Amino acid sequence: PDPRYLKLHAACAQVAHLSGAAKYIDNILRDLEEIRVLANDGSSADLLDFQLSPLVN
């Protein structure tokens, strides 16, 4: 792999870790494995958004 991409990936991972985004993403991924039905109150909207976003891009 190109060392520039590895450095960019490392920098992005560091920013995600320091900002708390990595924990947020880990929580979303864990919830996706555990939750099979969306909540009626909309509290699982982040899960739906995360799953549908690749279809839009």
CA distance 41 to 32: 17
CA distance 18 to 1: 25
Q: What is the three-class DSSP state of 42?
A: coil
16, two tokens:
């995600």
Q: Where are the domains of the chain?
A: 3-56
pTM above 0.95, yes or no: no
Q: What are the pLDDT digits (tens) for 1-57?
A: 899 999 999 999 999 888 888 888 888 888 888 888 889 999 999 889 988 988 886
